[in-house]
Structure 1
Amino acid sequence: MKHLADMLIEQSREKKSVLVVGLDPDPRYFPEFLLNRMESRTNEEIAAAILAFNRIVIDAVAEEVVAVKPQLAYYEVYGSHGIHALEQTIAYARTKGLLVINDAKRGDIGSSSEAYAKAFLADGPMAGDMVTVNPFLGSDGYLPFVEEAQRQGKGLFLLLKTSNPSSHEIQNLTLQNGDLLYFKLAEDLSELMRTTAGENGYSFIGAVVGATYPAEAERIRGLLPHCIFLVPGFGIQGGKAEDLDVFFDENGNGALISSSRAIIYSYREGRENGEATTEQEMLQAIKNAARTAKEQINEVRLHSSANRG
């Protein structure tokens, strides 16, 4: 069974990309050919539009990205119909050879975490290749995910230093020994990541580290050399391409850069509210936005690795 981190790195080399596109489908922003008069639509109709939207996005970005990242809240809000759209989205992404990161941010204790881990990492219809996990309940909350991922040849990303502006309120709390909370968690994970590394030196246990915090990322990278970072916040949230070099190692590996709204809603740019968009215009705009993001990221990571090499 191939190690998940090695699969990611092989995909990134083959596609010359470390871009991940988030599938955050908000029907309010859908073009009319997919959904009009949302207020009069049933959950079943909205979920069908979500699936159609996602298929267009996946078709547009498949050559430019290594993975797609469904954010589960956008599906759960429509109940069983939304979850079915998620399951079909995952299945469709796989037909395009894409890895799937379920952005679920799950975390519980004992048997509950075991059940979550099976739901997202085993072989059920909602399972992807990786899942985001909240580790702040402690090790009995995240170790069931580690164990299931290891059994299934899959992976996970533990929340460590997230991209949202208020993340400092908890993650930057100072402990009695002077460490910040997020850094203490990184210290606790360092040996586990070292001992689960694959052929390329990276563990299937990754961490979420926001693009909006490059200084913190540089410090975490020094402590976690075997950790692949999932990096949200690039684009609309304020993360800048020129700040991304610290997320990568000397070979340009070690990070996946995620962008969602800036890419999947790029067809809305420059259009007035209500101005019609065709399917082909939508697909081409998303393709162009994904390619531009990939090139911006590559310019930084490849230039940085050349300098450090």
Structure 2
Amino acid sequence: MSVLEPFGARLRRAMDERGPLCVGIDPHASLLAEWGLGDDVAGLERFSRTVVEAVADRVAVMKPQSAFFERFGSRGVAVLETCVQEARAAGTLVVMDAKRGDIGSTMAGYAEAYLHKDAPLFSDALTVSPYLGYGSLSPAVALARESGAGLFVLALTSNPEGPEVQHAVRADGRTVAATVLAHLAAENAGEEPLGSFGAVVGATVGDLSAYDLAVNGPLLAPGVGAQGATPADLPAVFGPALRNVVPNVSRGVLRQGPDVRALRAATERFAEEIRTAVAGG
């Protein structure tokens, strides 16, 4: 298996060259309808190819949401494979948003599906859930290291149900989310210019000053745009960790389709607002 340069190094370079914006690829039924497309495989393929064509050559990261492809069965997964391959060929890094999490051989199977360099769905990074215990992610961590890929581990998510688990306090007095962040800091210790193991931290969660976000890895920040957060909010949420934040915008860009020029204009607008916020933060 050929080995890529570590994801963290590739991501740092892409963020420095193109800015940190991540554009989601979320072909849910309502967006397909807004685009005048059928809620079928043909619509799915047209949607994903148009988004890749519009923005893959100008953003650091794209993030396809696997669920919206999987709902069409094997033909939808085939579209996802093509989407990933075409986006990477255009020069963007691909984070597969699949939020996989299991134990033992099952977790190893998920890792093989997304993180093995020769897999049809190989992605530069994968979102994973640590809530069967952080150690359950070991097969994914090991294969990511071997292949030069990365992980984004759910830590402080913006959904209203998240705090009942993530803010729970352990016997040692530390919250579950803080424990996840500490594990990531340990994974990334000594890595330069950036570790490959990041956290998912919602841009809408508010004041995070109680948490140490200095994990020497990237922070994937969903919630900018349609979910209510703005680029201007990022410095207050992420503080000193701002330079390592990868803000994700999905509907805020995707609703401008299917016109390629409108998709590009929305992407460039968010990218510039994010650059301004990072520079000022």
> Same fold by TM (over 0.5)?
yes
Q: Indicate the larger mover: 179-188 or 100-109.
A: 179-188
- The answer as to 2:265 corresponding to 1:265 is no
Distance 2:52 2:238 in 1: 26
Gaps of 5+ in 2: none
RMSD, aligned CA: 2.0
Corresponding residue to 2:271 among 281, 288, 294? 294
- Cα distance in 1 for partners of 2:175, 2:277 equals 29
* Other-structure match for 2:197: 205
Structure with bigger gyration radius: 1
Matched, 1:284 2:261: yes
Query: Which of 22, 25, 28 pairs up with 1:23?
Result: 25
**Is residue 230 of structure 2 the alignment partner of residue 240 of structure 1?**
yes
Q: Sort the Cα spacing of 1:181 and 1:35 in 2 relative to 1 into closer, same or farther, 3 A.
A: same
Q: Which residue of 2 aligns with 1:3?
A: 6
Is this contact kept in 1: 2:115–2:124, CA < 8 A? yes
Asked if the contact 1:2/1:153 (under 8 Å) is kept, the reply is yes
Distance 1:297 1:182, change over 3 A: same
- 1:108 to 2:111 alignment: no
> C-alpha deviations, 1:187-209, integer Å up to 9, x for none?
233222214x2x21x21111100
Counterpart residue number, 1:57: 51
Give the aligned residue type for 2:66: L
1:20 positional shift: 0.5
CA distance in 2, matches of 1:174, 1:265: 40
Judged with a 3 Å threshold, the aligned counterparts in structure 2 of structure 1 residues 111 and 240 are, in CA distance, closer, same or farther, namely: same
Q: What do the CA deviations read for 1:23-73 (whole angstroms, capped 9, x no partner)?
A: 10024433688634x4xxxxxxx2232122111111211243111101111
In the alignment, residue 189 of structure 1 is paired with which amino acid? L
In the alignment, residue 16 of structure 2 is paired with which amino acid?
R
Go from structure 1 to structure 2 and tell me whether the alpha carbon gap of 1:300 and 1:78 turns closer, same or farther (over 3 Å shift): same
More off after superposition, 145-154 vs 64-73: 64-73
Q: Could you tell me how far apart the structure 2 residues matched to 1:32 and 1:184 are?
A: 41
Secondary structure of the 2:188 match is helix
Q: CA deviation at 1:223?
A: 5.0
Equivalent position to 2:86, from 92, 96, 105? 92
User: Does the 8 Å CA contact 1:72/1:102 hold for their aligned counterparts?
Assistant: yes
Query: How far apart, CA to CA, are the structure 2 residues paired with 1:68 and 1:223?
Result: 23
- Structure 1 138/32 Cα, relative in aligned 2: closer, same or farther at 3 Å? closer
Question: Offset at 1:94?
Answer: 1.8
SS of residue matched to 2:162: helix
Q: TM-score w.r.t. structure 2 length? A: 0.91
- Which residue of the partner structure matches residue 160 of structure 1? 155
- How big is the shift at 1:75? 0.8
- Show the counterpart of 2:221: 231
Task: Look up the SS of the partner of 2:227 in the other structure.
Answer: coil
SS in 2 for 1:30: helix
Q: Does 1:149 align with 2:140?
A: no
Partner of residue 13, structure 1: 16
Q: Report the secondary structure of 1:301's partner residue.
A: helix
Q: Which runs of 5+ in 1 are unaligned?
A: 39-45, 268-278, 305-309
Counterpart residue identity of residue 5, structure 2: K
User: How big is the shift at 1:89?
Assistant: 0.6
1:194 aligns with 2:181: no
Aligned partners of 1:219 and 1:62: how far apart in 2? 36
**Alignment partner for residue 133 of structure 2, among 126, 138, 147?**
138
Shift of 1:164: 1.3
Corresponding residue for residue 35 of structure 1 = 37
Q: 1:34 to 1:125 in 2, by over 3 A?
A: farther
